[in-house]
Amino acid sequence: MKDSIKIFYQDLKDSFTDLLPIIIVVAFFQIFIIQSVPNNLISIITGLFIVGVGLALFLRGLEIGIFPVGENLATSFARKGSLFWLLIFAFTIGFSTTIAEPALIAIADKASVISSGKIDAFFLRITVAFSVGFAIAIGTFRILVGHPIHYYIITGYILTVLLTFFAPVEIIGLAYDSGGVTTSTVTVPLVAALGIGLASSIKGRNPAIDGFGLIAFASLMPMLFVQFYGIVVYSFNDSSVITTATTVSEASHELIASVYQFDFKSIFLELVGVIRDIAPILIVIFFFQYIIIKRPIEHLHKVISGIVLVILGLYAFIIGLEMGLFPIGESIAFQLTSMKNNLLIYLFGFLIGFSTTMAEPALLAIAMKVEEISEGVIKQNILRTIVAFGVAIGISLGAYRIVAGDPIHYYIIAGYIIVIIMTNFAPKFIIPIAYDSGGVTTSTVTVPLVAALGLGLAENIDGRNPLIDGFGLIAFASLFPMITVMGYGIYAEYKTNNMKKREKIK
């Protein structure tokens, strides 16, 4: 008991350290730029404290619950030798975790409102969920056969880029964003555990090289599928979408309203929502464990305790965000767009991108596994900092793209070309981690703030269409971490080789 309290205290300490950059950024802009003190200051401080506690509970639950179950399932499937059931499991995990993903629901609902119903929220979610299920199955097959990941990913990027020239402009930004909102705080740990568990249990596979990459597949496939969906939708209905300022305001205010409401009823509904989001994953896990594998879960009481901690932690995390970060973050975003100072917008995009990514639970989870699998060679804090720097660059550049009014695909295509070129020079061990890093950056914390900033800019700048220009920031936040992480890998390898040469000379 004493050891558990000590471990939780350390987790709590680490969580508040992770939140510090967000607090600094928000306080700086509120005091020195906006020059006003928020009316709900006590609520904001309380919310931030709850976020810290939620993060600590969530991470502890992952360690003792989700990670062990996912890795044990993967090992059991590998021993069973049933390719059919393994791929069905992979597809089901991908589909079930995505269909109820809160970030995807929020983006789909906003797309439906802004497009005046032309883009159906439910069918969009089904399309994305199916694509993620298909992606996880393909990624699992890749681990089994031992193919290098970049063959698949580069082929996928080329197809995505080619399809962009045929897709309607109204769907391109949304399609690229769809790849970023599919990898949630719950999905990422389970999918990562599946990949690492498989790579660890198959002879000839390296967990560091083969175990990572499933998240990258889950981020890539939705971009392809949603563009196909857009081609079908806009082919059958050629009428142009007239997006009025009122429609956009409704979409924006819906997001803000969902943040500002806080009462006992909403607290209960939030808990029900978290349980609902996690329930499909648990059903899939227990079904395959007891019905297909036909083996009991080892240390079941410990696993159940971990699952409860994950639920409570994620619940507290979301409540804390609603009380503290979302209201003040979105308020700053909309006030900055009204100030018509572009440099402040870019600076806010950069700083909020960096600070929210550092506190992103999905990134925390994957960084922990990277440090563990690499046996400490890649430190989680260094990886998270490099990823956060990539997100910061991406969001600030994405904000510039909206202000300038440039088509999004010019930037994204250029970014993918850079990724493809860097893949040929990056060390093998860093490539899957870099690809995965692009998927874990856009989750619970980042998506709402970034989406609000994009819509706010598109709404307040003359000549911008929110459906065409408002989406896309999430895609930038997913793309640039791949570049920065591979850049880090290339630099680290260069530095190591130089040290070896110096030692030989000596």
423: pLDDT strictly greater than 80: yes
Range ranked top by mean pLDDT from 255-269, 306-320, 440-454? 306-320
- Confirm whether 502 is domain-assigned: no
Per-position b or e across 67-88, b if 16+ CB within 10 A of its CB: bbbbbbbbebbbeeeeeeebbe
Separation of first and last alpha carbons in the chain: 53
Q: For 448-486, what is the HEC assignment?
A: HHHHHHHHHHHHHCCCCCHHHHHCCHHHHHHHHHHHHHH
Task: Take residue 422 and report the two structure tokens written for it.
Answer: 């860097």
CB atoms under 10 Å from CB of 438, counted, come to 29
- Confirm whether 284 is domain-assigned: yes
- Confirm whether 106 is domain-assigned: yes
Residues 466/177, Cβ–Cβ less than 8 Å: no
Per residue in 322-365, pLDDT (tens digit) is 777 666 766 776 788 778 788 998 999 999 889 888 888 778 87
Per residue in 206-260, pLDDT (tens digit) is 887 888 889 889 989 999 999 999 999 988 765 444 444 444 445 444 444 444 4
Residues 290/303, Cβ–Cβ less than 8 Å: no
- Confirm whether 461 is domain-assigned: yes
Residues 79/293, Cβ–Cβ less than 8 Å: no
Q: What is the pLDDT of residue 229?
A: 95
Q: What CA–CA distance (Å, rounded) separates 67 from 74? A: 11
Q: What is the pLDDT of residue 237?
A: 66
- Confirm whether 175 is domain-assigned: yes
Instruction: Determine the average pLDDT of the residues in 286-296.
Output: 88
Q: What is the pLDDT of residue 326?
A: 64
- Confirm whether 506 is domain-assigned: no
What predicted TM-score, i.e. pTM, was given to this entire model?
0.78
List the one residue out of 230, 198, 232 whose CA is nearest residue 214.
Answer: 198
- Confirm whether 150 is domain-assigned: yes
Instruction: Determine the average pLDDT of the residues in 398-410.
Output: 91
The number of folded domains in the chain is 1
List the one residue out of 348, 443, 318 whose CA is nearest residue 47.
Answer: 318
- Confirm whether 330 is domain-assigned: yes
Per residue in 96-125, pLDDT (tens digit) is 878 767 668 777 887 888 888 889 988 998
Question: If you search the block for the tokens 């890093």, which residue do you land on?
Answer: 437
Instruction: Determine the average pLDDT of the residues in 468-482.
Output: 90
Residue 399 or residue 262, greater confidence: 399
Per residue in 50-66, pLDDT (tens digit) is 888 988 888 788 788 87
Domain residues for 324?
2-496
Q: What is the pLDDT of residue 186?
A: 63
Per residue in 133-176, pLDDT (tens digit) is 999 999 999 998 889 888 898 999 899 989 999 999 889 989 98
